[in-house]
Structure 1
Amino acid sequence: MKHALLFCGVLACAGALAQTSGTGAIPAAAASEPVATTASGAQQFALSNGMQLVVQPDHRAPTAVQMLWVRVGSMDEVNGRTGLAHMLEHMMFKGSASLGPGEFSRRVARLGGRENAFTTRDYTGYFQQIPAGRLKDVMQLEADRFAHNQWPDEEFRKELEVVKEERRMRTDDQPRAALMEQLNAATFMASPYHHPVVGWMSDLHSMQPEDARAFYRQWYVPGNAALVVAGDVQPQQVLAWAEEIYGKLPSAALPERKPQTEPEQRGLRRVSLKAPAEQAYVALAFRIPGMQRLAQLQPEDKDALSLLVLSAVLSGYDGARLDRELTQGPQRVADSAAAHASIFGRGPATFMLTGVPASGQSPEDVEQALRASVARVAREGVSAQELARVKAQWAASTIYARDSLMGQAMDLGSNWVQGLPLDADDRLLALLQDVAPADVQAVARRYFGDDQLTVGTLLPQALPEGAKARAPAAGADDGVMR
């Protein structure tokens, strides 16, 4: 496991700015009541130009995280222009009206911070972790490139070659990643989830500088973005700075997002990939309902929750069902096996089962064993004790994630960008407590037939003489980090 400022002159002398702190007078014009709050103290504000601000105070250490989330990813691309969201993420580091290529990163480093960015199907994110006293400085830097990103054509062409090589290393030369790319393309026909986040190589070959500039003008507008700040900060002071720095950026209309609904699947699909590899690999993608609401649940929402619990029952902890049934004992079928339910997102949802055949076992053996594990749940159900363990581990992992400022900012930003309430994690935990064994058994019976299934199989070929097998890459094309 994956998103402008006002005064360019201010940026020109950013290095000379005095250190800022979380105290001081707050302009009255900036004071505002939050539009949403959480039990953890997070507050959401709407800036005057439509940009959203989320602030999570955490005073345990004198540091802060700023994240800028833009609700645009590979699902907003069109045929012939895939990879633009990710390419633009790279170009955001290549300059603005006041900063040259690479200067943004150098200035963040001089402020004592670290930074990076990521692109997924649903969104793009940019982040900096810095001493809390330098927060206003990085707000100015981030706002400048958000509003005034610009670069020479030659800089674009050089970076495009970097992205092509990234695709070669992470997808083309990684058999499992290449298989997952083909599996996604076969699973999704109308949905733009069909496209890889990094883009098809043919589209990268034909990509032009103006393609990225046009994409930037379309989607990088205040009403399509949220600023998330977590750390040793005062919400009203952050709001005042955000209004001063980000709130003055001109608003602009967003393009119309037309629905691209995936048609009903009416039969099993299969894809296979022959590639040099030491081991085969099997991935089963089942179409399932996604989670649309965290209040006033509809039947499909309850099913999505139950499928999430089923994935944890199968492989949510060491020694879970897939481990016990497929990878242990003298008759083991697989070296590894896993389940994952992707129920949140702007596009369609899937339930994935994956496995690596053990020595002497075939991909077909693993496929049958994976489906047999789900069929066993459908037939015999799960115990209350099993669900209690899953729920306890889920609660613990959610709480532990809050130890990290970056984890808090990631949760808040991803909730906003997917249209969920800020406290979606707490609401999800509460809802999971109501998932009963009968609910898990019911979804195991309902969603795992052939008609909603696409199977991908990696067929290993002999490695070239003298070549060493690469370490397997991540399975799904869910996101790309710079």
Structure 2
Amino acid sequence: MLSNLLRITFLFMLLTQLSWATGKDQDDTHEFQLSNGLKLIVREDHRAPTVAHMVWYRAGSMDEVNGKTGVAHVLEHMMFKGTDKVKAGEFSRLVAAVGGRENAFTSRDYTAYFQQVEKSKLDEVIKLEADRMSNLNFDDAGFLKEIQVVMEERRLRTEDNPSSLLNESLMATAYMSSPYRHPVVGWMNDLQNMTASDAREWYRTWYKPNNTTVVIAGDVDTKQALATVEKYYGAIGAQELPVRKPQVEPPQKGVKQVQVKAPADSAQFTMAWKAPPLESGKLDNPEPYALELLTAVLDGYDNARLNRSLVKQEKVVNDVGVGYDMVSRGPELFLISATMAKGKTVAQAQASIRKAIEEIKQKGVLESELKRIKVHILSEQIYKRDSIFGQAMEIGSTEMAGFSWKDIDYMLEKMQTITPEQVQAVAKKYLVDEGLTIAVLDPQARKSVSQESK
């Protein structure tokens, strides 16, 4: 009784704290649309004298076409190769010179660039980033050198990594028409045949202010930030963007399976079910929230169901993980991945997973179980908002998926309303063989040094 009372009290405290924090975030966050179409979102957070500046282009690997996969990521590399005013390699040096850190990343849905600097240096990084939005200038020799770097990155991170190889084959098998079937880094043959012109064309097509969201978070004055953004980004002209084709994934008609043979210490596998993401304009649909909570029921804490049964009790796998992205531009998968324990088979582990899922379908989940998970989600959100960079990341990634930063708090509130019955319902509806793809890694012996030298 006391334990339940403490849990309820803690939940109330978290809800109160988050309610205060989210209300404050709403008041301290301001959105602007420049005349050239660029969206600016400024979140004031004056707890530390630093600021995060992020530029989000709504162009990722899902916007690529066959034969040019990987070009979004390649251009990310080329964006550091100089402009008419800034020489190759100077961008990073200039950011470091003002005591800042910077980087970039490409995903299926977007490409983003960021700098985190002391607040007085914000104008300088805005000027640098706006310059390369419109004045990128790299030669063919520089491209040929950098494409070798990207190919080596693919070799190290994918071709020499059995888990990455398995995931790549899984995605290519699970999706038929969605561009999510292509790896973000690109297929090696496409990289080998990519030209500097391909990268320049991608830049001219997508790197425009009307395809961009700038997020500034931290110890910043909104009016001053807006004035600086208008001065540098506002001078760049808008351009008509290509029409994006929907590329709707056709319904799956049964189990798909793929096997990958690669050097590895243990067998691995992933079971992936087609599952719907949240749709903009349909924030009240309970299914994506219930699927998100279902991942936590199975793998959201140390003693969650799959870890308890497969790792601790049966000892059939060394580790197990569950994933699902509720917010994205394309179709989604509900994933369960595991690495086999010595002497155990993939069939044994899959049977144990199916048993755990069937138990949820038949008996549902406990109210106390769901409450514990909801408390964890709330506490994670509060901790996340302690980070200026984390706040900017959350805003930008949400905007890129087609939602508004204003939706974030509503999503959190909606998550708290999901019932055990709704979690049980999505397990019954979506974790079925008709939408299942299974990828299995068959481990091969690693070559010895003497074998490789022959």
For the superposition of Structure 1 and Structure 2, which TM-score range results when normalised by the shorter chain? over 0.9
Residue 431 of structure 2 corresponds to residue 444 of structure 1: no
| Alignment map for 1:334-413 (pairs within 5 Å) | 334-413=317-396
Residue 286 of structure 2 corresponds to residue 302 of structure 1: yes
- Pick one of 251, 275, 283 that aligns with 1:288: 275
Cα drift, residue 254 of structure 1: 0.3
Partner of 1:32: none
CA contact (8 A) 1:294 1:424 kept: no
Higher mean displacement: 370-379 or 172-181: 370-379
TM-score w.r.t. length of structure 2: 0.92
TM-score w.r.t. length of structure 1: 0.87
Letter of the 2:369 counterpart: E
CA contact (8 A) 2:280 2:402 kept: no
CA contact (8 A) 2:264 2:443 kept: yes
- Pick one of 105, 110, 114 that aligns with 1:127: 114
CA contact (8 A) 1:398 1:425 kept: no
Partner of 2:244: 257
Partner of 2:219: 232
1:417-464 deviations in Å (ceiling 9; x for gaps)? 111121333222100111101001111111111110000000001111
1:141-188 deviations in Å (ceiling 9; x for gaps)? 000001111111100000000000000000000011001001000011
Partner of 2:302: 318
Letter of the 2:366 counterpart: S
Distance 1:104 1:421 in 2: 31
Higher mean displacement: 37-46 or 115-124: 37-46
Distance 1:251 1:140 in 2: 18
Root-mean-square deviation (CA, aligned residues, Å) is 1.4
- Pick one of 194, 207, 229 that aligns with 1:207: 194
1:263-290 deviations in Å (ceiling 9; x for gaps)? 1100100001011100110101100111
Letter of the 1:320 counterpart: A
CA contact (8 A) 1:294 1:427 kept: no
CA contact (8 A) 1:116 1:127 kept: yes
Letter of the 1:434 counterpart: T
Distance 1:296 1:198 in 2: 32
Partner of 1:87: 74
Residue 29 of structure 2 corresponds to residue 46 of structure 1: no
Cα drift, residue 293 of structure 1: 3.5
Query: Matched residue of 2:88: which SS?
Result: coil
Partner of 1:162: 149
Distance 2:184 2:157 in 1: 12
Q: Which runs of 4+ in 1 moved over 3 A?
A: 293-296
1:223-246 deviations in Å (ceiling 9; x for gaps)? 100111011101111011111111
- Pick one of 397, 409, 419 that aligns with 1:426: 409
Q: Return the structure number with greater helix share.
A: 2
CA contact (8 A) 1:356 1:366 kept: no
Residue 136 of structure 2 corresponds to residue 152 of structure 1: no
Letter of the 2:310 counterpart: L
Query: Matched residue of 2:394: which SS?
Result: helix
Distance 1:295 1:285 in 2: 24
Give the unaligned 5+ runs of structure 2. Answer: 1-23
Partner of 2:312: 328
Higher mean displacement: 81-90 or 286-295: 286-295
1:353-382 deviations in Å (ceiling 9; x for gaps)? 111111211111112212221111111111
CA contact (8 A) 1:38 1:423 kept: no
Distance 2:402 2:252 in 1: 26
Query: Matched residue of 1:39: which SS?
Result: helix
Distance 2:326 2:105 in 1: 20
Distance 2:182 2:322 in 1: 22
| Alignment map for 1:62-81 (pairs within 5 Å) | 62-81=49-68
Query: Matched residue of 2:322: which SS?
Result: strand
Partner of 1:16: none
Give the unaligned 5+ runs of structure 1. Answer: 1-36, 468-482
Partner of 1:99: 86
Distance 2:302 2:220 in 1: 38
Query: Matched residue of 2:26: which SS?
Result: coil
Higher mean displacement: 234-243 or 83-92: 234-243
CA contact (8 A) 1:343 1:350 kept: no
Distance 1:323 1:423 in 2: 35
Specify whether residues 452 and 295 from structure 1 end up closer, same or farther in structure 2 by C-alpha distance, changes over 3 A only.
closer
Alignment length, in residue pairs? 428
Partner of 2:210: 223
CA contact (8 A) 1:48 1:243 kept: no
CA contact (8 A) 1:117 1:126 kept: yes
Letter of the 1:173 counterpart: D
Query: Matched residue of 1:433: which SS?
Result: helix
Letter of the 2:312 counterpart: Q
| Alignment map for 1:274-285 (pairs within 5 Å) | 274-285=261-272
Letter of the 2:418 counterpart: V
CA contact (8 A) 2:59 2:206 kept: yes
